[in-house]
Structure 1
Amino acid sequence: MSAPTAVLFDAPGPRARRRTLVASVVAGLVLAVVLVLVALRLAERGQFDAELWAPLVDPSDENFPAVWRRIGEGLVVTLRAAAIAVVLSVVIGLVLAAARLSLGRYGRVPLVAVVELLRGLPVIVTILYVDVLMRALGIYRDSETTLVIALTLYNSVIISEVVRAGILSLPRGQVEAGLAVGLTRGQVMRLVQLPQAVRAMLPALISQLVVILKDTALASIVLSQIDDLGRVADQLRGFLDNPLQTYFVIGLIYIAINLLLEQLAKLVQRRLGGGSRRGRTPAVAPGGPVDGSADATGRATSTRF
């Protein structure tokens, strides 16, 4: 059997592979040299001195307990705001996607206008506008509530577009089959289309949830009364006079949380994929067909129980 022919690109030959290898080695060496030069420059300026890192990494330092207590408090605020925004964004996003597909051509115009408006605004502008609007309406509560509302407004429309794309990618025959067996359009959307769309678009949805977590850091820039992880980092670097070290540790915390979310996404995807494979009944089992299909001679067989 002949090897499959490349369609999108030609397989590189020996000379092209050698050039790629040489370019990769040169790029790696250049990057290593740059990192060494940066490290030497930082060492000259005393950025590796123990007293700058001790409050963050040395439990024997007198400031270590207070520093990590403040980091823990900021982390709680960040995770709480992100978790609430995630739940609200997913729920509202599913409702928006279903409503946009269910409404008629003219009925969906206001909804489309709102979606396009919120999609076009930068997240930081949305946070500022929500803060100003809530104060003008006299319903301002606190900065954390403002952050949750702003993140929900922005990310719910993004999630709705992701889910809508997943629904539109499904075969139209599923809708017709659902209507043929007596389901309403709302039931077809809820029972047939939405579960498949969410499952198909799960990687994109998880990526958007990670974006929500990272967007919480914008609160420390535009909101003055929130003690999230970003604001705590600002306070600590001013108190300890070590901005490079403080932001480095805070950055590692964000990276660790995002890696955990990525592993969670992979676990959920494996569970869903494994569940679907386990849930399928084989067409032919040892001893003959078990699903009412035709046997090897073409004669119909009944299901065995």
Structure 2
Amino acid sequence: MTYFRSSIQDWHKRWAHQPWFRRYEWLFMGLVGWLAFAMLVLPPFGSPDPLGAATVISWYLAGFTMAGILLTDREKPTLLKRAASLSVVALFFWLFYYYSGTRWDRVHEQFFNFSRMDGVWELYAQGLLVTLQVSIVSAVLSIIFGLTFGILRTRGNPVLDLFLGLHVDIFRALPLIVSMVLIFYALPFLGIRLPAFWAAVLALVLMNSAYQTEIFRAGIESIPRGQLDAARALGLGTGATLRHVILPQAFKIVIPPLTNNLVSLVKDTAVAYVITVPELLTTAQQAVTWKRTPTPLVLSMFVYLLTLIPLIHLTRRLERRLNVGNVR
């Protein structure tokens, strides 16, 4: 015991003079003790008894507390804080995998059985292509109509306000699935027949343009009235004032809610299955019936994540860049 203690003291003396060690000494010592506790006390793989479960939970809470102390220290670098956050999340899932007692072989066979996906990948590619086509066309048209209607709603014309207000109220209150069914199945009785693709696009545009009308209207009306008066004093017309003064500032304000709306639009394309549009989720459901495994649905979840998360991060980066421009 004395030899072990003297070895620790010698090791501490050897590294104590290092500035990086003095800065993170408590972190290193706590991490070493925490890992030593894990090697000596944690129960083996499988579902532990109540005492073992309490030991695992206590050990995780100790690590969670160290990470919390690190995250609240303003002097620690951001990279270290991010690593600590990711480590806490990864450790939780590892402990769940290691000690939950779940039959992971059965989970893999049921939900991640990619060996039974022969012939499905082509359907997936077609479904993803249709989803992207519907999303892009609907997003572009929704932004165009939403911006146009938002500008018109700020003009104060009572006739336009009446019709645009009805459009906003009706299509924000009407469920998307009802709109699609009415457009695809009811309009033919009035002599208007639309292909399933364009019926889905029309329903998405009507709903999302209603939301975006209010988003753009709120963004435009948030610009101080004094800037409009200053633009007029400089001799700028209505169109030039909108292009050069009002809209550049309004776009910076509406980016967060507009992004949320566009992300919801991509997810709402899944509703198009009711009018037989072969989008991604419809293709996945057909593959589930064909292969008799829920693996295609799980795969579609990852496809949505890989599609939408980059969009969210891209808009966040754009928002930060615009905010930096404002500060300057």
- Provide the TM-score with structure 1 as the length reference: 0.70
Task: State the distance in 2 between where 1:195 and 1:85 align.
Answer: 23
Q: State, as a whole percentage, how many aligned pairs show the same letter.
A: 30
Task: State the distance in 2 between where 1:249 and 1:194 align.
Answer: 40
| Stretches of structure 1 lacking an aligned partner (at least 5 in a row) | 1-20, 281-305
Measured after TM superposition, the shift of residue 242 of structure 1 is: 0.6
- Which residue of structure 2 aligns with residue 230 of structure 1? 281
Aligned residues: 242
Do structure 1's residue 187 and structure 2's residue 237 form an aligned pair? no
Decide whether the 8 Å contact of 2:152 with 2:160 is kept in 1.
no
Please give the per-residue CA displacement for 1:74-103, whole angstroms capped at 9, x wherever unaligned: 000000100000000001100000011114
Q: 1:99 is matched with which residue: 152, 170, 189?
A: 152
Task: State the distance in 1 between where 2:291 and 2:311 align.
Answer: 31
- Which residue of structure 1 aligns with residue 302 of structure 2? 252
Give the aligned residue type for 1:93: G
Measured after TM superposition, the shift of residue 141 of structure 1 is: 3.1
- Which residue of structure 2 aligns with residue 140 of structure 1? 193
Give the aligned residue type for 1:126: S
Alignment of structure 1 residues 31-46 onto 2, 5 Å: 46=106
Do structure 1's residue 241 and structure 2's residue 301 form an aligned pair? no
Task: State the distance in 1 between where 2:243 and 2:183 align.
Answer: 32
Moved over 6 A (4+): 34-37
Q: 1:175 is matched with which residue: 228, 233, 237?
A: 228
Calculate the aligned-residue CA RMSD, in Å. 3.0
Do structure 1's residue 123 and structure 2's residue 183 form an aligned pair? no
Task: State the distance in 2 between where 1:169 and 1:197 align.
Answer: 8
- Which residue of structure 2 aligns with residue 262 of structure 1? 312
Do structure 1's residue 218 and structure 2's residue 271 form an aligned pair? yes
Decide whether the 8 Å contact of 2:143 with 2:209 is kept in 1.
yes
Please give the per-residue CA displacement for 1:22-60, whole angstroms capped at 9, x wherever unaligned: 9x98xx9xx97x9669x756659x44328x644x3x5xx
Give secondary structure in 2 for the equivalent of 1:179.
Answer: helix
Task: State the distance in 1 between where 2:172 and 2:225 align.
Answer: 28
**More helix per residue:** 2
Distance of aligned partners of 1:249 and 1:107 in 2 relative to their CA distance in 1, 3 Å threshold? closer
Do structure 1's residue 76 and structure 2's residue 136 form an aligned pair? no
Give secondary structure in 2 for the equivalent of 1:183.
Answer: coil
Decide whether the 8 Å contact of 2:147 with 2:213 is kept in 1.
yes
Task: State the distance in 1 between where 2:244 and 2:235 align.
Answer: 13
Q: 2:108 is matched with which residue: 32, 48, 55?
A: 48
Q: 2:217 is matched with which residue: 141, 158, 164?
A: 164
Task: State the distance in 1 between where 2:262 and 2:212 align.
Answer: 9
| Stretches of structure 2 lacking an aligned partner (at least 5 in a row) | 1-60, 66-88
Task: State the distance in 1 between where 2:140 and 2:252 align.
Answer: 17
- Provide the TM-score with structure 2 as the length reference: 0.65
Distance of aligned partners of 1:230 and 1:107 in 2 relative to their CA distance in 1, 3 Å threshold? closer
Measured after TM superposition, the shift of residue 181 of structure 1 is: 2.0
Measured after TM superposition, the shift of residue 196 of structure 1 is: 1.2
Decide whether the 8 Å contact of 2:112 with 2:298 is kept in 1.
no
Task: State the distance in 2 between where 1:107 and 1:69 align.
Answer: 47
Distance of aligned partners of 1:48 and 1:231 in 2 relative to their CA distance in 1, 3 Å threshold? same
Task: State the distance in 2 between where 1:272 and 1:41 align.
Answer: 47
Which has the greater radius of gyration?
A: 2
Measured after TM superposition, the shift of residue 210 of structure 1 is: 0.6
Measured after TM superposition, the shift of residue 107 of structure 1 is: 4.2
